């Protein structure tokens, strides 16, 4: 009987799986102020956040990459300078950072002297490669931050690297310097490092509001490979180095941090295949007692009053449910009232216009009773009051002046006495 096949434990399967080779990225551009150090620090932190052990090597004498991950210049005992001149090994100059799985080899101003001390050395272009290659298997990625020049330090970084990442600001001068950088990469490839290739160009400090930005981006995309991830202008990226943290630790929700996370994801997918997106966990199915309890609760709960069944008429709006105003519920007008309303009397015509306009007093509309089954005395009084208020007031016609009721006094004739007095 054949023995059952055993695929082995997960540890054995992991040991049998070949480990991917270490990739060394050189972040280089001879133009200064394009975001090389910012890209190197945040890209290394993003790769470490993806659970890949990463080493950041600061090859710039300014030491900005070292301070960007929290290493103080005065606390440095061994730096990349000691490694290049052969005074210390790479593992002795390595320091941990706040980001798990991220380590750094710092730089100091002493690195300026390395170019002068190594100028006569026969292997001056291979010093960094010879120091890194024995320890390459300890890391998944190595990121080299190059100085803004094409000197001996940049030459060492390009000789030791496998790929070159070029940060590019969308301006004319940065575009002009890109041509010289590509010529330098071609010369290094032909003489020192045949494995060196350009991984891609990262558009940094991107401002989509200007037309120059779009023109430079279109020009670069027509000749080189440009990453889909774009690093916009972001204040958080400028504030993070002052706190000694990458943007990932300072403000992970900022646009700059999200841009570098997208860049790291794009690099990982190009070398390791598509990454698995985290899926939402399905809701746990309720057990039999819980399902029975929820069904009992839903059956005992009365339906909502504002729920509307399909096909049912819409409930009337609050304005439509209000009772009509008092002016709309007038009592029926008789023919005599119509005649009197159509033909005003002489007294009504003699009254002022304001008095005629205010014949009917305005009363507030009575509130609708809660139940329409029985009429309360208060509702009867309100109805009678509104009906009486709706009737036009009856005015008495003025009495004509009496003509024959009172006799006027007879006309007095002048007497002889009055005649004498006149003369």
| Average confidence (pLDDT) over 342-352 | 45
Structural contact between residues 341 and 333, judged by C-beta atoms closer than 8 angstroms: yes
User: Phi first, then psi: what are they for 375, rounded to 5°?
Assistant: -90, 130
Most trustworthy range by pLDDT among 83-97, 270-284, 341-355: 83-97
Q: Is 11's pLDDT higher than 50?
A: no
Helix (H, G, I), strand (E, B) or coil at 35: coil
pLDDT at 353: 47
Share of the chain above pLDDT 70, in %: 60
| Terminal Cα-to-Cα distance of the chain (whole angstroms) | 177
- pLDDT value at 182 more than 70: yes
For residue 143, pLDDT over 90 is answered with yes
Q: What is the pLDDT of residue 337?
A: 47
Whether 45 and 248 have beta carbons less than 8 Å apart is answered as yes
Angle 9-14-19 from CA coordinates, rounded to 5°: 165
Average pLDDT over residues 55-61: 95
pLDDT digits (tens, 9 = 90+) for 69-113: 999 888 899 999 999 998 999 999 999 999 999 999 999 999 999
Higher pLDDT pick, 328 / 165: 165
Give the count of beta carbons closer than 10 Å to the beta carbon of residue 27.
Answer: 27
Q: Which tens digit of pLDDT belongs to each residue from 352-390?
A: 444 444 444 555 555 544 444 444 444 445 454 554 545
Q: 217-229, pLDDT tens digit by residue?
A: 998 998 899 999 9
Q: Which residue has the higher pLDDT, 73 or 211?
A: 211
**pTM for this model (two decimals):** 0.63
Average pLDDT, the chain: 75
Q: How far apart are CA 192 and CA 123, in angstroms?
A: 11
E strand or H helix at 229: strand 226-232
CA-nearest of 131, 83, 124, 85 to 106 is: 83
Domains observed in the chain: 20-272 (3.40.50.300)
DSSP per residue, 102-142: EEEE---GGGHHHHHHTTT-TTTTSHHHHHHGGGGGG-SEE
At residue 292, the pLDDT reads 57
**Residue 244 φ then ψ, to 5°:** 70, 35
**Which residues have C-beta within 8 Å of that of residue 399, sequence separation ≥ 6?**
none
141-145, strands of its sheet edge to edge: 95-96, 102-105, 54-58, 141-145, 23-27, 163-169, 197-206, 226-232
Max mean pLDDT range (185-199, 261-275, 281-295, 318-332): 185-199
pLDDT at residue 20 in the model: 76
DSSP 144-199: EE--SSSSHHHHHHHHH-SEEEEEEESSHHHHHHHHHHHHHHHHHHHHT-TT-EEE
| 224, 198 contact by CB (below 8 A) | yes
Q: Given pLDDT bands bounded at 50, 70 and 90, which one contains residue 21?
A: confident
Asked if 182 contacts 203 with a C-beta cutoff of 8 angstroms, the reply is no
pLDDT at position 51 is 93
Q: What was the pLDDT predicted at 127?
A: 93
Question: Reduced to 3 states, what is the DSSP secondary structure of residue 55?
Answer: strand
Q: What is the three-class DSSP state of 270?
A: helix
Any idea which of 48-57, 66-75, 245-254, 325-334 has the lowest mean pLDDT?
325-334
Which residue, chain included where needed, has tokens 């945040």? Answer: 42
If pLDDT is split at 50, 70 and 90, which confidence band does 180 have? confident
Closest by CA to 345, choosing from 392, 390, 402, is: 392
Q: 106 with 80: CB under 8 angstroms? A: yes
> Average pLDDT for residues 19-31, to the nearest whole number?
89
Q: What pLDDT was estimated at residue 289?
A: 53
Alpha-helical regions (H) of 222-360: 235-239, 247-250, 255-272, 288-300, 318-321, 335-342, 346-350, 353-357
Return d(Cα 139, Cα 193) in angstroms, integer: 21
User: What is the average pLDDT across 268-294?
Assistant: 61
């Amino acid at each position: 009987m054949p023995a059952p096949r055993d695929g082995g434990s997960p540890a054995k399967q992991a040991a049998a799986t070949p480990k991917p080779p270490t990739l060394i990225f050189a972040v280089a551009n001879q133009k200064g102020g394009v975001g090389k150090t910012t890209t190197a620090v945040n890209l290394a932190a993003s790769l470490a956040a993806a659970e890949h052990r990463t080493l950041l090597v600061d090859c710039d004498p300014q030491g900005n990459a070292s301070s960007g991950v929290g290493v103080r210049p005065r606390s440095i005992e061994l730096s990349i300078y000691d490694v290049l001149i052969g005074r210390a090994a790479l593992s002795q100059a390595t320091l941990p950072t706040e980001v798990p799985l991220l380590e750094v080899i710092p730089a100091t101003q002493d690195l300026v002297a390395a170019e002068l001390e190594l100028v006569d050395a026969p292997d001056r272009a291979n010093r960094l490669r010879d120091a890194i290659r024995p320890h390459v298997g300890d890391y998944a990625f190595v990121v080299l931050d190059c100085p803004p020049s094409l000197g001996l330090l940049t030459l060492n970084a390009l000789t030791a690297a496998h790929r070159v990442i070029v940060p590019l600001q969308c301006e004319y001068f940065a575009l002009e310097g890109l041509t010289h950088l590509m010529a330098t990469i071609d010369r290094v490839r032909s003489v020192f490092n045949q494995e060196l290739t350009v991984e891609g160009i990262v558009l940094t400090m991107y401002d989509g509001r200007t037309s120059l930005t779009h023109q430079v981006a279109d020009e670069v995309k027509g000749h080189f490979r440009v990453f889909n991830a774009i690093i916009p202008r972001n204040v958080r990226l400028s504030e993070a180095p002052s706190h000694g943290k990458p943007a990932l630790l300072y403000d992970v929700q900022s646009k700059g941090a999200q841009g570098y996370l997208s860049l790291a994801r794009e690099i990982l997918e190009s070398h390791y295949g598509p990454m698995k997106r985290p899926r939402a966990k399905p809701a746990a199915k309720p057990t039999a007692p819980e399902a029975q309890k929820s069904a009992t609760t839903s059956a005992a709960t009365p339906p909502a009053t504002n729920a509307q069944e399909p096909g049912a008429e819409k409930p009337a709006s609050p304005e439509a449910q209000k009772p009509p105003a008092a002016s709309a519920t007038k009592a029926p007008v008789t023919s005599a009232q119509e005649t009197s309303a159509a033909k005003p009397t002489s007294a009504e015509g003699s009254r002022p216009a304001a008095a005629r306009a205010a014949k009917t007093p305005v009363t507030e509309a009575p509130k609708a009773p809660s139940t329409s089954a029985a009429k309360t005395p208060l509702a009867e009084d309100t109805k009678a009051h509104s009906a009486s208020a709706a009737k036009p007031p009856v005015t008495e016609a003025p009495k004509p002046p009496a003509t024959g009721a009172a006799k006027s006094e007879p006309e007095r004739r002048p007497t002889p006495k009055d005649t004498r007095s006149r003369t």
